[in-house]
Amino acid sequence: MAAERDHAEESAGPRGAAFFDLDKTLMQGSSAFQFARAAYAEGLISRRQIVNDGWANLRYRLQGASDEVSLALRERIAAGLQGTRVVELERLGVGVLAGVLPRIYPRMLRVAHEHQDAGRPAYIVTAAAQDLADILARVMALDGALGSQLSEVESGVYTGRPTGRFMYGDGKARAIVELAARDGIDLAASYAYSDSESDLPMLECVGHPVVVNPDARLRRIARERDWEVVHLDRLGRRLWWVAGLSGAAAAGGAAAVTIGRRVGGGGSSRARAWSAPLTAASAPFR
């Protein structure tokens, strides 16, 4: 990454900042899937649901997500949270961190810290909940986070009514512009990192966009605009290579063996009650 050679040098010019998407940019895969895993460990969702979430996470790592899936996600999660105590989700924090932190890309964390050393504050910008984003920023020694508010809260209980900002698409760019105006940050001297075409407004609002593990559409845009492209997630390449090898073997008369397992489900009434919001959580929180 060419930027790694430059970030360590203190800049005498305008004060910029660095903004990092979370899923597939700072970390492998989806942070929301790690939330679902933590919920499963606490008995809040069924085994069937965690398997479904796992497949959704795999598809996300290989293909990315559509606007329709991501925008519908907030509505479904907010509705699914109705009647749930805030403390029940807060108690999942340790389990979520246990899943997310091992999946942080060391190279991207190093880049964030190099930005800080060069005088540019570093922020997480994600559609994940603000509370989770704040915790991750503190643990990674970053300067702050811009996250989403998913549901209104009354007397410590989620009402199920969406409220506040949703950090997706134009919402990320607006939040970055507001932060820059408040803190005196020069966006022309700033950097943004993301994997998805949905984050194009975020990338376009800074002077130095960098794409990380890009989806097909963002890869094409980056090539057309001569943006820096970084590939860190090798899962897709490995699986496509295996698929191609399997196809060649089949064509040559080799036998293919598929191992499957039916996963029983249903779970408890408590698990079924949580399945609706956490089905939505299997989609990516960018």
Active site residues: 21, 23
Residue 216 vs residues 63, 195, 233, 284: alpha-carbon distances, Å: 8, 10, 14, 17
User: Do 214 and 195 touch, CB atoms closer than 8 A?
Assistant: yes
Going by their DSSP bridges, the two strands 18-20 and 153-154 should be labelled as unpaired
- Written as one letter, the residue type at 144 is G
Measured CA to CA, the distance from residue 237 to residue 231 in angstroms comes to 10
C-beta separation of 144 from 116 below 8 A: no
